A and B are shown apart, each in its own frame.
Chain A
Amino acid sequence: GQNIDQPTEMTATEGAIVQINCTYQTSGFNGLFWYQQHAGEAPTFLSYNVLDGLEEKGRFSSFLSRSKGYSYLLLKELQMKDSASYLCAVNNFGNEKLTFGTGTRLTIIP
């Protein structure tokens, strides 16, 4: 089976930086995805990591360590619109299935 853990809730200040962690235990790891989901809306794709290291995309960066079963999503220069749930999801070899973590509800305060 798979076990994917994230903090349930986080709060950060507008203009600051926040790091959202995701740990996973799985066999046949084939990549980790981060999605953003605003309340009542569909998840939207943010990033994908399959090799160790940091992937940067504008204000958002995602990091992966396969040996530690660990990823984080880093959000810089936080804006009020970044208030949302952030979901990490894992794919395994041999199928197209994404298994989602529990999600982290991020609240940005002025």
Chain B
Amino acid sequence: DTEVTQTPKHLVMGMTNKKSLKCEQHMGHRAMYWYKQKAKKPPELMFVYSYEKLSINESVPSRFSPECPNSSLLNLHLHALQPEDSALYLCASSQDLGPPTAFFGQGTRLTVV
């Protein structure tokens, strides 16, 4: 299995809603990432988990809350988002030895209304 799977593929939520994005990989990778990508811009790193512990938080607002329940799963909990948070949210994973080549999931297209 060489895939990173993200659900849902599309999500529309109101500013008062609470929702979660899910990511799963079974490649035995020990680093998992959340990136945010706006249209025609490069991906911007949000969080990195290494061995199920949060290792990097790029000063992301608290309305985004990551969670790593185990080495294969990564969640992103969303609460009280703003319309400007609408973007493609990408999950990625990489191996713990050698170059940190990130393998990306297909992303969740999030629209906040």
A42 surroundings in chain B (CB, below 8 A): 90, 104-107
What is the bound-complex CA distance between A33 and B103, given in angstroms? 12
Q: Chain A: how many interface residues by the 8 Å CB criterion?
A: 22
Q: Which of the candidate stretches B12-20, B48-56, B59-67, B68-76 sits at the interface with the other chain? A: B48-56
- Find residues 91-105 in chain A having any chain B CB closer than 8 Å to their own CB: 91, 95-103, 105
What is the bound-complex CA distance between A50 and B98, given in angstroms? 11
Cβ contact of B101, chosen from A48, A99, A105, cutoff 8 A: A48
Cβ contact of A101, chosen from B42, B45, B104, cutoff 8 A: B42
B31 to chain A, nearest CB (A): 4
Q: Chain B: how many interface residues by the 8 Å CB criterion?
A: 23
What is the bound-complex CA distance between A99 and B43, given in angstroms? 8
**Hey, what's the 0/1 contact readout for A80-110 against B, CB within 8 Å counting as 1?**
0000000100010001111111110100000
* A13 interfacial by beta-carbon distance below 8 Å: no
B36 to chain A, nearest CB (A): 12
A95 surroundings in chain B (CB, below 8 A): 48, 55-56
What is the bound-complex CA distance between A48 and B94, given in angstroms? 13
Closest to B44 in A: A100
Cβ contact of B31, chosen from A41, A45, A96, A100, cutoff 8 A: A96
B44 surroundings in chain A (CB, below 8 A): 100
Cβ contact of B102, chosen from A41, A98, A103, cutoff 8 A: A98
Binding site for A on B (CB under 8 A): 31, 33, 40-45, 48, 50, 55-56, 90, 94, 99-107
